[in-house]
Structure 1
C-alpha cells in the first residue's frame, strides 16, 4: 500500500532525531508552513501555519486559531529511539573501533552482526562562527560482531551483554582514525581541522518491509516512535481550517526520561503556546480558557500480545496486531488516559470506523512511561495515550500490523479534523 511506503520513506530519511526533524520540516514546508526562529520576534496571524525547532532534534508545528481563548488540538510523539552514541574512534587489536555509549533501553543483542549506519550532526568552524550540518555516511557501515560460540558455549543460556565489552563497533582496519574524520568532514562539506564537535549515533540500515503470509505485518527500524510521529503528522497536515488552533509536537530524549531543554519536560511547548497566545492578544483569562478547552494525544506505541510469551500480557485485555489502535490506561497515570479522554477518543474513532484496543499492563508488571504524564506537568490539558500495537519494542527492528498503520493514520486525521468543544468539566460536544 502507498501509505506503508510513505511510512517507510519517512523512517528511512530519519536515522537520527536531527534527520527526523529535517524530514518533518521538509513535509511541513511543502504544505505551506513557515519556519520560525526562537531567537527572533514572531509575527503571527490568525490561521497562519508555522513551525519552530529546538536543538534541531525537536519540532513544534502549529496552525493559529482564529481568536484568543479558542484552545488547541494537539499531539505529541518523540523523535528518538534506543541507539548507540558514537564518542570517537580508537585503535584496538589491529582494528579501528568506534567507541560507543548506549542510549536508551535497547535490546542489545539485536544490534550485533548487522551493518550499522553512522549519522547525526557535525559542528563546523566557519568564518562567522559555528554551523551545524547534518551528515549520514552513505555507503559506510560499522559492525558489532558476536564472539564465536566456540569461545562462549553458554551464550544461548543467557548472555549478559556488557556495553563496554560487547557493544563496541568495528569501523575499519588499523590506523583509520584519520579516515573516519575525513569521511565526516567530506559529509559535512568541510576540512577535518574545521570540525569542532559532533553528535553522532549508530543506526539500523534495514529498510522497512512487509512480512507474513499475506503481507499483513510490517517490519521496520524505529517504529517506536517514528510510526506515531508519521501518523500524527499525516493527520495534522490533512486537517481543514478550524476555529481552534492545531499543534503537532515532536520531542527528543523520551527514551532517556525527557528531562532536557528539547524534551517533553522542557519549556518548549509552553513557550510556543505563550508566544502564539500573545500574538492573538490573549489576556490571562483567555490563556486559561484556551488551556481548559484544549486536548492532547500522547502518541507512543504499545505492546501487542506475543504468541511465544502470551502470559506477559494482561489476559483480561489482550492487544493484537491488526486489531486496531491502542488506547493505553494505567492506574498510576504513567499513561494519562482517563474515562473522559478515553471516551472522546472512542467517539472519534467510532465515527471514523477505526477499531480501538484498550491496553493495561499486567497488574504485577510495571510498564514504561511516555510523553503524556511528563508533558502534563508543563501544559495542564486533558490527554489520552495512544499508539500502534507492536512486537519487539526497543529491538533494532520492530514489528507492527499493516492494517494498524492505516487505522492510526485515520484516527489521527479524525482527531485533528473534529470540532470538540468543552461544555463544562468532563462534558464535551463533538462534531466531525
Structure 2
C-alpha cells in the first residue's frame, strides 16, 4: 500500500498500521476470543481505550467539561470520543466524525425457565437471537456467557450487575443421524426451532439441578440472590488464521466485532495524531442491531444523539450549537459485507464482485437499506485514498432483498450525512465466519483516515 497523493505524516502513520497485517490480525483474534457476548465486547473495547488514556465516565455523572478522551457504556453498547486536540476556546458547534458498528451477533439465548428433561437427557430451552444460520450450531462444543443481575445492597436500587462466562464445553445441539432421516441428502436439513435446537448438557430422567442453581454457583452468589440473567451460547473454537498462506481469519462473531475492533484502533490512532482537526472523533458500538435496534441501547435509541448533545453542552454550547454540529457531521456506519462466494457466484451482482483482501467495501442501496448517498460515498472514498487502501463497492442483486445496518436509523435520528461500508466476509451469520487478514489492517487504516481526515 503506497502513499496517496498529498500524503501527510498522519497518512503515513495510517499506512504503517495497514502494513502491520499480523499485528492487527492477532489483535483482532484476541478481541474476538475475549468477547463472547455484547457485554464482554464492550468491556474489551473499554479496556483497550482506557489502557491508552481514555477516561470512563458514568451516564449518571456530569459530562466532563475539560478537553480529553472519554468512554461511556450502556449495557452492551459503548460510545467513545476525544476533544483532547481542541483548544480551550474551540467552537461548541464543532462537528463530529462518527464510526458506528454493533456488538451483537446471532446466537442461541437461554430462556428464563429453561430446564426440562426428555428421554433421559437434561435439556436447556433456548431462543434464537437474530438471523442465525441455525445448522451451523449443530454438533459444536458450546459455552455460555452474558450478564447477571444480583441482589446487592450497596448498588443503586439494591441490584448489582456482573459479567460472567463459562468456556467449558457444557452444551451441545446434536444432529439426527442420517440413518434416521434419509431425506436430508435429497431435501436438505429441515430444523424446527422449538424442537430441534435445544441443547443438552447432562443425563437424567428429571431436573435435579436447575440452570439458575448452576449459574448462581458460577457467579458465586446464593440462588435466591440471582435475580435475572442475560445468558447466551458461544462457540468454543478460538479465532485463528487459516488458509494455505494464512491470508484468511476464521472466527465466531466477525459480524460485527471486526468493525468494532477496527473502530477502536481507528479512534486510538486519530487521538494519537497531534495535528489540529476541526472534528470530534467518535465511535458508537451498538447492541441489538441483529434484532432491529429498538431498545434503550440500540441504534434507534437516544444513546448516540443524547451524548452528542451532552458533549456540546459540556463545551458551553447551546441546543442551537448542537444542531449546527450535526449539520457538519459525517457518520460512517460499519457492518461486514458479502464477499463473492466461489460456490454461489450467481447470487452476487455481476458488476459488483467483492474480493477478499480487496479492500474496504462501500455499500450502496437506492432503496435506503443502506444510508450511502453520493456525498457520503465521496467522503469514504477520500478516506480510503488518504489511507492508501483500495475501495470496493457492493450492490445486492436487483432480484434479491437487501439487508440493512445501523446507518439508516442513525442518519434519520441525527440528520447527518451517513455512509455505509464494511469488510468482506463469507458465511455471514454462521457460527464460524471468515474474512481476509489484509482487509483488517486496511479496514482500520481507512477508518483512522475517516476520523482524522487530512486537511491539506
TM-score class, shorter: over 0.9
1:390 is matched with: 425
> What residue number does 2:10 align with?
none
Deviation of 1:62 after TM superposition, in Å, equals: 1.2
Give structure 1 stretches of 5+ with no counterpart.
420-429
Name whichever of 122-131 and 255-264 sits farther off.
122-131
Contact 2:169–2:236, Cα closer than 8 Å, also in 1: no
* Residue in structure 2 matched with residue 124 of structure 1 by the alignment: 150
Q: Which residue in 2 is equivalent to 1:213?
A: 244
Taking the aligned partners of 2:314 and 2:201, their CA distance within structure 1 comes to 51
Corresponding residue number in structure 2 for 1:255: 290
State the 1:177 CA deviation. 5.1
CA distance in 2, matches of 1:402, 1:336: 27
CA shift for structure 1 position 262: 0.6
Using the TM superposition, give the Cα deviation of residue 160 of structure 1 relative to its aligned residue in structure 2, in angstroms: 2.2
Hey, what does 2:77 align to over in structure 1? 58
Q: Deviations over 1:354-384 (max 9, x none)?
A: 0100000111111101010011121111111
Contact 2:109–2:128 (CA under 8 A) maintained in structure 1: yes
Alignment of 1:380 with 2:415, yes or no, is yes
Task: Give 2:110's aligned residue.
Answer: 86
**Superimposed CA distance per residue, residues 34-83 of structure 1 (whole angstroms, 9 cap, x where no aligned partner):** 222222222322x31111111x2111111135431111111110000000
Name which of 161, 164, 167 aligns with 1:138: 167
- Answer whether contact 1:117 1:142 (CA < 8 A) is retained: yes
TM-score (norm 2): 0.89
Q: RMSD over aligned Cα, in angstroms?
A: 1.5
Secondary structure of the equivalent of 1:259?
Answer: coil
Is 2:182 aligned against 1:153?
yes
SS at match of 1:61: strand
Name whichever of 221-230 and 131-140 sits farther off.
131-140
Work out whether 1:71 is the aligned partner of 2:91: no
Q: Are 1:2 and 2:3 an aligned pair?
A: no
Residues 177 and 40 of structure 1: CA distance in aligned 2, closer, same or farther (over 3 Å): farther
Contact 1:96 1:177 in 2 (8 A): no
Aligned to 1:19, the other structure's residue is in SS state helix
In structure 2, list runs of 5 or more residues that go unmatched.
1-21
Q: Which residue of 2 aligns with 1:40?
A: 61
The equivalent residue for 2:279 is 244
* Contact 1:135–1:184, Cα closer than 8 Å, also in 2: no
Instruction: Report the counterpart of residue 422 of structure 1 in structure 2.
Output: none
* Corresponding residue of 1:425: none
TM-score (norm 1): 0.94
The answer to whether the Cα contact below 8 Å between 1:265 and 1:377 also exists between their aligned partners in 2 is no
Residue in structure 2 matched with residue 320 of structure 1 by the alignment: 355
Query: 1:10 & 1:282 partners in 2: Cα distance?
Result: 37
Deviation at 1:403, TM superposition (A): 1.1
Partners of 1:204 and 1:26 lie apart in 2 by: 23
> Contact 1:137 / 1:184 at 8 angstroms: preserved in 2?
no
Equivalent residue of 1:225, what SS? helix
The number of aligned residues is 419
Paired residues of 2:102 and 2:257 also in contact (CA < 8 A): yes
Give the Cα–Cα distance (whole angstroms) in 2 for the partners of residues 78 and 177 of structure 1.
38
